[in-house]
Amino acid sequence: MDAAVWSHSENSTVCGAWGLRKAGDGQRWCGGAGACSFLIELVPSIMSNLLNPDAIFSNNEMSLSDIEIYGFDYDYTLVFYSKHLHTLIFNAARDLLINEHRYPVEIRKYEYDPNFAIRGLHYDVQRAVLMKIDAFHYIQLGTVYRGLSVVPDEEVIEMYEGSHVPLEQMSDFYGKSSHGHTMKQFMDIFSLPEMTLLSCVNEHFLKNNIDYEPVHLYKDVKDSIRDVHIKGIMYRAIEADIEKYICYAEQTRAVLAKLADHGKKMFLITNSPSSFVDKGMRYIVGKDWRDLFDVVIVQAEKPNFFNDKRRPFRKVNEKGVLLWDKIHKLQKGQIYKQGNLYEFLKLTGWRGSRVLYFGDHIYSDLADLTLKHGWRTGAIIPELRSELKIMNTEQYIQTMTWLQTLTGLLEQMQVHRDAESQLVLEEWKKERKEMREMTKSFFNAQFGSLFRTDQNPTYFLRRLSRFADIYMASLSCLLNYDVSHTFYPRRTPLQHELPAWSDRATTSRAPLLQEAQAK
């Protein structure tokens, strides 16, 4: 070898140039003077500077001192639900498939698994496979599932003639699968039971060699999930046992009270019905909850609310009856139904960057507001808190530190073309692949992190970065910041701004690891 001298003993392999030593019996590579000291010193320094799960993260510079009006979605923004809700939705939709769509009664044996799916996955409607796609439209191999079983990488590559999904096959602007599109992206938290039900029914048909049309299955499951909402099954169940389904949080009222005390105007725009919202808000905020809001709009039918100019507002009285009066002003303490954003803007005058709207659905809640209307947007991502806690564990930090180091070694040492060096490089590649799988399993055994594939941001994160000025795990994070706080996005280095790995001292790998964690 030119730069490195390899020597072997019975139980170890040593690279003299890099100070690297691999112990026998399948243990990992670790360094002598170089790599091991680097790992030993770096991990404690990261552990002393952990990520804050209650922080607000910024994609775009924004000062709260400029925000005069705060808007909110309801579900998974003002109110959070317990784990029982997804089980309820799954069971109700499963029963609708059996009772109304004549699906085999045997699918009732399948129960909801909260650990199966994650948000942001894509579903190939015609091939009946669920998968994770990165920001560059590449499928993450090892995350493609037909039913409840992973599809081998070789089959995926043959199926898609590689691992890239062309733009014309991706979802439309709102993550829906429409004519000419084969992919549906699941962006809503309510879609977790839908993905699981799709996979379970697919599994039943495959295991029992039942011939079926995947497009019909997708539509029937989608309609059943929709009917759980439209027919009021979910709403009635929650209203009947609020304590079981709603996670009571004093922080919601504290956030609203803080904003009201500082003279901020507030409004609510939700797709949920009036009585459902009223009972939920009475439970988490108090019977006087309407006093905190200047405008309340229910059954808004977002995202149509942001685009359809034809639907006027209707007032809802105390008994939930729709009134026929023409609306000349949106009054505090009243509840309105339907309407559209253009009429809303005309009646309130609340325009531009002085409005900040929070929602959990990146497409239906945030996209139009930031692209077409210039509002500032805040995404509520409940999964963020649990992922950050995982990223703060010593096991995760050690794994990521070595994975980053191993990647750098592969990049630098690939210039050595002799057989002995190539053998070591192949071992490193194998270990890197195993460690990537381990990293994925920290978050979700099937699909990994909501925000990352092996190396790249997910398609979900790409859309989050585009449509949300700030994002956080819950509204309670606002309590940690002053109402005049300015959020500054970190200037993370671009790829061409980073020196090559070989040109950097080993201790300078810390920012790269921190960058990976932050994303």
C-alpha distances out from residue 55 to 32, 47, 82, 287, 443, Å: 38, 17, 22, 30, 20
Question: What torsion, rounded to 10 degrees, do the Cα atoms 13, 15, 18, 21 define?
Answer: 10
75 annotated to bind ligand:
yes
288 annotated to bind ligand:
no
Put residue 419 in one of left, alpha, beta given phi > 0 → left and psi -120 to 50 → alpha.
Answer: alpha
- Axis crossing angle, helix 191-207 with helix 84-100, rounded to the nearest 10: 50
- Which residues, in sequence order, are bridge partners of residue 122? 131, 185
- Rg of the chain in Å (alpha carbons): 26
Q: Are 458 and 452 in contact (CB under 8 A)?
A: yes
73 is an active site residue: yes
278 annotated to bind ligand:
no
Given 75, 124, 278, 454, the catalytic residue: 75
CB proximity list for 40: less than 8 A, separation 6 or greater: none
75 is an active site residue: yes
Given 73, 188, 220, 368, the catalytic residue: 73
Distance between CA atoms of 224 and 231, rounded to whole angstroms? Answer: 10
Kindly state the DSSP code that residue 322 receives in the 8-state scheme: B
| DSSP secondary structure of 278-318 | HHHHHHHT-TTGGGG-SEEEES--TTGGGT--S--EEEE-T
Name the strand (E) or helix (H) holding 12.
strand 12-15
Interstrand relation of 470-472 and 376-380 (parallel, antiparallel or unpaired): parallel
- Binding-site members for Mg(2+) are 73, 360
Per the annotation, binding residues are 73, 75, 360
Residues with a known catalytic role: 73, 75
